[in-house]
């Protein structure tokens, strides 16, 4: 969430920057509510002070044996006015908070301003697109022979868009996860297996709610409402919800494995069938808490870890710095890592690494304290390290042979004791 005090001081600058993400955004409605809210609070404070003074006067009149009826009527009327204003204040505050919480994070100065994702800047390319001297198959066609995953039986159990890995496919998925976790640990990230469901405040804190309400799977329980994780970023950010961290403990570098659940997935066309876009997928996530002056370097570190994983798999990929209009709601700067999928003849994101500055920390009240100083907001960063479903597609499609078999990268072959899937 953004700082309303900063917005008051420089409305035009904030509005201009926010419009690079959401062109039609206007701050006047928010600031009008902010002014009304402050006016109401001031009026209530003055009325309470007046009531206190009059109540003291009532006591003095009683001690003197004088009539208090008229003054008591004034106190009663003031109380009724305070009650009415408190009710109005609650409603205005709720509307104000809702509007403020729907504002996206402000992009950093070095992010290119555009609404066209085709203008995302390719900042690095590693490897080359593979060339084939035979007619290639996409991963769904390859799977007809290999039988690594399926959707037919799970359509009965769960509906369309829910994959199941089977046999060697399940083993390959597990080997990928194990490899990625190993890389995270070797790079100093503390490994977590967190819950796969979170309370609504955690969704708010990470920036998922209220703006994206309806895009997630909810567990409807009146006594304990929960959401299934759309990304483990949500639960990792929530680990230090409403805490003050010691300066010496920063940066905190975490990695977590969870399944992730997305309602909006599966709505794409035939090009994105199979494992490209699904309701449930596995992901290893990096999440870091830093001091403000550490976050830019930490972002580079996280990008390096994701690259190390892909280089170990021998996959051709590129890094793209996103334009303002293609960035996430919470991100101030985002770099996507995309792999080439021959069967789709295009690049697809397998990791999105974002510096969220103090945006999530303000929503989640996560601070740190230097010795003798007031608490300050931390910076948070998140990034896939990596999501496996599209990575599985990349391994199958890029390493296929003319007979429909697939050669595994050496490190996965060693883990599985199998060099070729056939």
DSSP labels, 22-59: STT--SHHHHHHHHHHHHHHHHHHHHHHHHHHHHHHHH
Query: Looking at residues 109-132, what average pLDDT do you find?
Result: 97
* Reported pTM: 0.93
67, pLDDT greater than 90? no
Residue 272 pLDDT class (50, 70, 90 cuts): low
What pLDDT sits at residue 264? Answer: 64
What pLDDT sits at residue 271? Answer: 57
124, pLDDT greater than 50? yes
Q: Give the closest residue to 180 by CA, choosing from 333, 388, 420, 372.
A: 388
Residue 267 pLDDT class (50, 70, 90 cuts): very low
DSSP labels, 338-377: EEEETTTTEEEEEEEEEE-TTHHHHHHT-EEE-TTS--EE
| 277 catalytic residue (yes or no) | yes
Q: Cβ(389)–Cβ(282) under 8 Å?
A: yes
Mean pLDDT of the chain: 95
Q: Give the closest residue to 198 by CA, choosing from 214, 185, 186, 209.
A: 209
Query: Looking at residues 212-233, what average pLDDT do you find?
Result: 94
- Our CA angle for 301, 303, 309, nearest 5°, is 105
What pLDDT sits at residue 202? Answer: 98
Which of 6-15, 91-100, 256-265 is least confident? 256-265
- Cα–Cα dist 125/316, whole Å: 8
18, pLDDT greater than 60? yes
58, pLDDT greater than 80? no
pLDDT digits (tens, 9 = 90+) for 393-413: 999 999 999 999 999 999 999
Q: Cβ(153)–Cβ(278) under 8 Å?
A: no
Q: Which position among 349, 362, 376, 405 bears the catalytic label?
A: 349
Residue 310 pLDDT class (50, 70, 90 cuts): very high
What pLDDT sits at residue 56? Answer: 83
pLDDT digits (tens, 9 = 90+) for 165-211: 999 999 999 999 999 999 999 999 999 999 999 999 999 999 999 99
CATH code, residues 4-101:
1.10.287.40
Residue 273 pLDDT class (50, 70, 90 cuts): confident
Strand bridging mode 346-355 / 379-387: antiparallel
Query: Looking at residues 382-391, what average pLDDT do you find?
Result: 96
| 349 catalytic residue (yes or no) | yes
234, pLDDT greater than 50? yes
- Cα–Cα dist 272/119, whole Å: 22
Secondary structure E strands in 222-371: 226-228, 244-246, 252-261, 280-290, 317-321, 333-341, 346-355, 367-369
- Cα–Cα dist 391/307, whole Å: 13
pLDDT digits (tens, 9 = 90+) for 313-349: 999 999 999 999 999 999 999 999 999 999 999 999 9
The angle that helices 139-146 and 388-398 make with each other, rounded to 10 degrees, is 80
- Cα–Cα dist 324/312, whole Å: 31
Q: Which position among 51, 277, 363, 367 bears the catalytic label?
A: 277
What pLDDT sits at residue 100? Answer: 98
- Cα–Cα dist 415/298, whole Å: 30
What pLDDT sits at residue 266? Answer: 44
- Cα–Cα dist 396/412, whole Å: 13
40, pLDDT greater than 90? yes
What pLDDT sits at residue 401? Answer: 97
Q: Cβ(161)–Cβ(389) under 8 Å?
A: no
What pLDDT sits at residue 75? Answer: 83
What pLDDT sits at residue 54? Answer: 85
Q: Which position among 173, 232, 262, 384 bears the catalytic label?
A: 262
Q: Which position among 206, 295, 351, 352 bears the catalytic label?
A: 352
User: CATH top-level class for 117-421?
Assistant: alpha beta
- Cα–Cα dist 337/321, whole Å: 9
Q: Give whole-number Cα distances, 25 to 2, 99, 105, in Å.
A: 14, 11, 13
What pLDDT sits at residue 118? Answer: 96
DSSP labels, 372-417: TS--EE-EEEEEEEEEHHHHHHHHHHHTB-TTS-EEPPHHHHHHHT
C-alpha neighbours within 13 Å on the C-beta side of residue 408:
20
Query: Looking at residues 115-122, what average pLDDT do you find?
Result: 97
* Residue 411 burial (10 A CB sphere; 0-12, 13-18, 19+): middle
- Cα–Cα dist 220/212, whole Å: 17
Structural domain boundaries of the chain? 4-101, 117-421
374, pLDDT greater than 90? yes
390, pLDDT greater than 80? yes
Which residue's structure tokens are 């085709």? 118
Query: Looking at residues 54-59, what average pLDDT do you find?
Result: 82
Dmax over CA atoms of the chain, in Å, equals: 108
């Amino acid at each position: 969430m953004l700082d309303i005090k900063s917005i008051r001081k420089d409305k035009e600058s904030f509005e201009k920057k926010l419009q690079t993400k959401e062109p039609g955004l206007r701050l006047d409605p928010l600031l009008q509510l902010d002014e009304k809210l402050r006016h109401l609070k001031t009026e209530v404070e003055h009325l309470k002070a007046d009531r206190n003074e009059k109540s003291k006067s009532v006591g003095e009149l009683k001690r003197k044996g004088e009539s208090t009826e008229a003054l008591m009527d004034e106190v009663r009327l003031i109380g009724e006015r305070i009650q009415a204003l408190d009710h109005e204040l609650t409603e205005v505050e709720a509307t104000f908070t809702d509007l403020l919480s729907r504002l996206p994070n402000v992009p950093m100065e070095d992010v290119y301003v555009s609404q066209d994702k085709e203008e995302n800047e390719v900042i690095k390319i590693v490897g080359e697109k593979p060339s084939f001297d035979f007619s290639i198959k996409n991963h769904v066609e390859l799977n007809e022979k290999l039988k690594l995953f399926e959707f037919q039986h799970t359509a009965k159990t769960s509906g369309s868009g829910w994959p199941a890995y089977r046999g060697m496919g399940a083993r390959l998925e597990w080997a990928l996860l194990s490899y990625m976790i190993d890389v995270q640990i070797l790079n100093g990230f503390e490994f977590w297996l967190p819950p796969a469901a979170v309370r609504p405040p955690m969704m708010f804190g990470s920036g998922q709610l209220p703006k994206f309400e309806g895009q997630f799977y909810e567990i409807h329980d009146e006594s304990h409402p929960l959401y299934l994780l759309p990304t483990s970023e949500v639960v990792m950010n929530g680990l230090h919800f409403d805490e003050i961290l010691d300066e010496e403990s920063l940066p905190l570098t975490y990695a977590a494995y969870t399944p992730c659940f997305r309602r909006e997935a599966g709505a794409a066309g035939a090009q994105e069938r199979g494992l490209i876009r699904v309701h449930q997928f596995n992901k290893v996530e990096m999440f870091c808490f830093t001091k403000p002056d550490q976050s830019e370097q930490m972002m580079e570190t996280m990008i390096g870890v994701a690259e190390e994983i892909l280089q170990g798999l021998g996959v051709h990929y590129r890094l793209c710095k996103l334009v303002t209009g293609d960035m996430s709601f919470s991100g101030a700067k985002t770099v996507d890592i995309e792999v080439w999928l021959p069967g789709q003849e295009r690049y697809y994101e397998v990791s999105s690494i974002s510096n969220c500055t103090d945006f999530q920390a303000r929503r989640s009240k996560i601070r740190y304290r230097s010795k003798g100083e007031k608490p300050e907001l931390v910076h948070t960063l998140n990034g896939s390290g990596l999501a496996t479903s599209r990575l599985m597609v990349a391994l199958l499609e890029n390493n296929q042979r003319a007979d429909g078999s697939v050669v595994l990268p050496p490190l996965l072959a060693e883990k599985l004791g199998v060099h070729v899937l056939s």
